[in-house]
Structure 1
Amino acid sequence: MKLRSLAAAFAATALVPMSAQAVDLEVTHWWTSGGEAAAVSEFAKAFDATEHNWVDGAIAGSGGTARPIIISRILGGDPMGATQLNHGRQAEELIEAGLLLDLTDVAEAEGWKDIVNPSSLLDACTLDGRIYCAPVNIHSWQWIWLSHKAFADAGVDVPSNWDEFVAAAPALEEAGKIPLAMGQQPWQSSGAFGVLSIAIAGVDAWKSVNIDKDAEVAGGPVYAKVFEAAAKAREFAANSNVQDWNQATNLVITGQAGAQIMGDWAQGEFQVAEQVAGEDYTCLPGLGVNEILDTAGDAFYFPKIDDPEVEAAQKELAALLLSPEVQVNFNLKKGSLPIRGDIDLSAANDCMKKGLEILASGNIMPSGDMALTPDTQGQIEDLMVEFWNDPSYSAEDAQARYAEIIGDAD
């Protein structure tokens, strides 16, 4: 096998097995928006710089669309070489069925336990002491994105927190703007509710509900304020007639909407549009109320394939995904934070720097993906779709149903 010039730059160790021949490795993911496509191309370029070939298996739509397809293929005996999933509980059953490759040897050779920060990301890839995925970024839902143009057109200052945004919403409407951009995919309304929960109810209440599964807190007065805020947000988003999240982001980019509650992956869309953080748009972690990041994110899993050459290529890719140069190139375009803190991010924009500062402060929390089963998350998504799309569905009735779901959660 030829030596690769990228080996030193990517710090690949000799302990990671290398394939003796070129392998075409199909990689499935749901990164298809402009910013996402630019980011995932960095992974593809790095892998193609080896003797192997990244065969792109992008699945249009959201993770909710892609995950059933991915899981069905693996269960049906038609596995891809590697696949994106969110690190957390999504892959538990596949691991328990023995269908995913054990990456513990790669993790130990590359020192992942020493470089992955926070350690909870690697813990989320671990089952019974074995590591089954390669975490590649930290994504947080806890952001609201504000269009400077929209607020200037409305003659009001750009808000610095959720309450100021609520107060400015009537001026936006009078100026013909959509106060809050919101796509119609279920995960968007569910995610926005989660952001409101952290900002308004606070971390302790959120943990009681999502980790301890405390139905009394979910149905109590603290969460009543969250549902009241969600009902207000529903009014603000009433005329946001788009489907995909990046279409909603574009409403903010073009000044048609004042704001969007969306994860930091929205940054990639602003960058593709050549907008500058702090000049064209403002980002507020925790809605400007409670500056905290949930440490969700993406990881790659590798289905078991009975071919030693393919397995060796899979492990090469796993090591490459966490290498310093690839981490920098990918995350700068994705808008996410790297999973290792020992790399140069001097080129980060203002919003990414805010995220890095919060991460460094330790003001972080687990994501719902790590705390709730896919079944429970699906029930919450169904509730939020009904609530956001039906103005007659009261905040009180929605909260009562939410408390039932939490009470029945695993």
Structure 2
Amino acid sequence: MKLSTKLLSATAIVGASAVSAAELEVTHWWTSGGEAAAVAEFASAFNATEHTWIDGAIAGSGGTARPIIISRILGGDPMHATQLNHGRQAEELVEAGLMLDLTDVAEAEGWADVVNPSRLLDACTLDGKVYCVPVNIHSPQWLWLSHDAFAKAGVDVPADWFEFVDAAPALRDAGLVPLAMGQQSWQTSLAFGALMVAVGGTDLYIDVLTNKNADAAASEDMTKVWEAYAAARLLSEGSNVNDWNQATNLVITGQAGGQIHGDWAQGEFQVAEQVAGTDYTCLPGLGVNEIIATGGDAFYFPKQDDPAIEAAQKELASLMISQEVQVAFNLKKGSLPIRGDIDLSAANDCMQKGLAILAAGNVLPDGVNSFSADTAGQIDDLTVEFWNDTSISVEDAQARYVDIIASAD
């Protein structure tokens, strides 16, 4: 990748102190086809400098990778850069002084002026200092639908979650799985949050996940969310795959009607050369409330006792948020760019939907940003247990949920 004069000028502040080429080990959990194509754009841009990207991909999901990443940092064997999500996942590492301060880069390049929404840069900031570079906006509230599957079932492609539920019997009769769902716990937790936006609505979402309002968690609207979640677990019976991209492949190949999943699923559709609007349909907010929560990925840079390495780390941070690299990366990833000042006219139909929602300001904070790791873990454990054990009633699950929200930190 040829870097522009403008980009090279912008990164001069971080490259000036580099006295030699550096090799940086970069850990991440992007290993599916679409993810690998996207992260290759970061590696290519970095390798176009005098430095070298050493790929440290960790197979599995973030739930698998994060403990490994954190253990290495705490154990004195840090990588040079690592993916984590926006939110409070790295808060204790920052407070312990283990992460590189990127404030000088952020201020020199005006990150505060271009990151949209601004809360994602805020999530990288502690005590006025910036410790990570946000690289994308991911929204988990999408319903992905296979045109082939609904043609086999002899019914129209649904326009929203409720029509999808109504079409499920026809899919079963055609020998298809209505709802593809991988067995990893975070996937079922993601579905719960998506249904909360679609069925419960934005006021409920904010009241529970931002305001930590236990009364809202006990409301009739929240009961409807749990009922929808109970229906979804029945629709997924027969979806015997583990990884999220395997579930996406069931939709791509017409073996399943749909999947509740994040916008990164479209990277898999692109690798399969499927066309949005022709081969598949994507419904933000499950087609009910076209509002998306804005979370995503960020890169942190564990401190190193080496000025040359530190200079290379800052150069990588600068590249990741640069205009050229943001376009290349996000077009492959299926995520929205973190910058509000770039042209994505080449984006497909699904990404254009997300961009329109973002431009209209119809966004919500990601639920994980408000909770400690302990509280988030309790919620995940409950939603996963409920999904896997049909003997747990909606009433019992909601009562336990209320207790968690009441004591949330």
Deviations 1:308-353 (A, max 9, x none): 0000000000000011110000000000000112112111000000
Q: Residue in 1 aligned with 2:101?
A: 102
Q: Is 1:170 the counterpart of 2:179 in the alignment?
A: no
Distance 1:294 1:92 in 2: 21
C-alpha separation between the residues in 2 aligned to 1:211 and 1:403?
Answer: 14
1:16 is matched with which residue: 14, 20, 29? 14
* Counterpart contact for 1:33–1:246, Cα < 8 Å: yes
Structure 2 counterpart of 1:144: 143
1:31-42 aligned within 5 A: 31-42=30-41
Q: Distance in 2 between matches of 1:33 and 1:362?
A: 30
* Aligned amino acid, residue 14 of structure 1: A
Contact 1:160 1:288 in 2 (8 A): yes
- C-alpha distance in 2, partners of 1:51/1:348? 31
How far has the Cα of 1:236 moved from its partner?
0.1
Unaligned runs of 5+ in 1: none
Correspondence for 2:296: 297
Q: What corresponds to 1:232 in structure 2?
A: 231
Equivalence for 2:44: 45
- State the partner residue of 1:72: 71
CA shift digits 1:226-247 (9 cap, x unpaired):
0000010011001111111000
Aligned counterparts, 1:75-224, within 5 A: 75-224=74-223
Shift of residue 15, structure 1, vs aligned partner: 2.4
Give the corresponding residue for 1:55.
Answer: 54
Per-residue CA deviations over 1:194-219 (Å, capped at 9, x if unaligned) read: 00001111111111111121112112
Return the match for 1:6 from 3, 24, 49. 3
CA contact (8 A) 1:87 1:133 kept: no
Q: Is the 8 A contact 1:181 1:252 kept in 2?
A: yes
Asked whether the 8 Å contact 1:10–1:326 carries over to 2, the reply is no
Q: CA deviation at 1:14?
A: 2.5
Q: Is the 8 A contact 1:16 1:109 kept in 2?
A: no
Equivalent in the alignment of 2:275? 276
In the TM superposition, what is the alpha-carbon distance from 1:382 to its structure 2 partner?
Answer: 1.1
Tell me the equivalent position of 2:342: 343
* Matched ranges for 1:248-267 at <5 A: 248-267=247-266
Asked whether the 8 Å contact 2:11–2:315 carries over to 1, the reply is: no
TM-score by length of 1: 0.98
Note the C-alpha offset of 1:405.
1.1
How many residues are aligned here?
Answer: 407
Deviation at 1:276, TM superposition (A): 0.3
Whole-Å separation in 1 of the counterparts to 2:6 and 2:352: 24
Contact 2:14-2:312 within 8 A present in 1 as well: no
Counterpart-to-counterpart distance in 2, 1:209 and 1:338: 28
SS at match of 1:321: helix
Residues 41-68 of structure 1: per-residue CA shift (max 9 Å, x gap):
0000000000000000000000000001
TM-score, structure 2 normalization: 0.98
Offset of residue 5 of structure 1: 5.9
1:14-37 CA-partner distances (Å, limit 9, x unpaired):
223442211010000000000000
Hey, what does 1:362 align to over in structure 2?
Answer: 361
Q: Tell me how far apart the structure 1 counterparts of residues 355 and 134 of structure 2 sit (CA, whole Å).
A: 17
Superposed CA RMSD? 1.1
- CA separation of 1:113/1:67 partners in 2, compared to 1, >3 Å: closer, same or farther? same
* Structure 1 CA distance for aligned equivalents of residues 261 and 353 of structure 2: 16
Whole-angstrom CA distance in 1 between matches of 2:187 and 2:2: 42
1: CA distance, partners of 2:304 / 2:255: 48
Q: Measure the CA separation in 2 of the matches of 1:401 and 1:104.
A: 41
Query: Is the Cα–Cα contact under 8 Å of residues 28 and 56 in structure 1 kept in the other structure?
Result: yes
Query: 1:312-351, aligned counterparts within 5 Å?
Result: 312-351=311-350
Whether the 8 Å CA contact 1:29–1:59 is kept in 2: the answer is: yes
Query: Which amino acid is 1:197 matched to?
Result: M
Distance in 1 (CA, whole Å) between partners of 2:342 and 2:212 is 38
Q: How far apart are the structure 1 equivalents of 2:176 and 2:6?
A: 48
The aligned residue for residue 26 of structure 2 is 27
Q: What are the Cα deviations for residues 124-176 of structure 1, in whole angstroms up to 9, with x where unaligned?
A: 10001000000000000110000000000000000001111111000000000
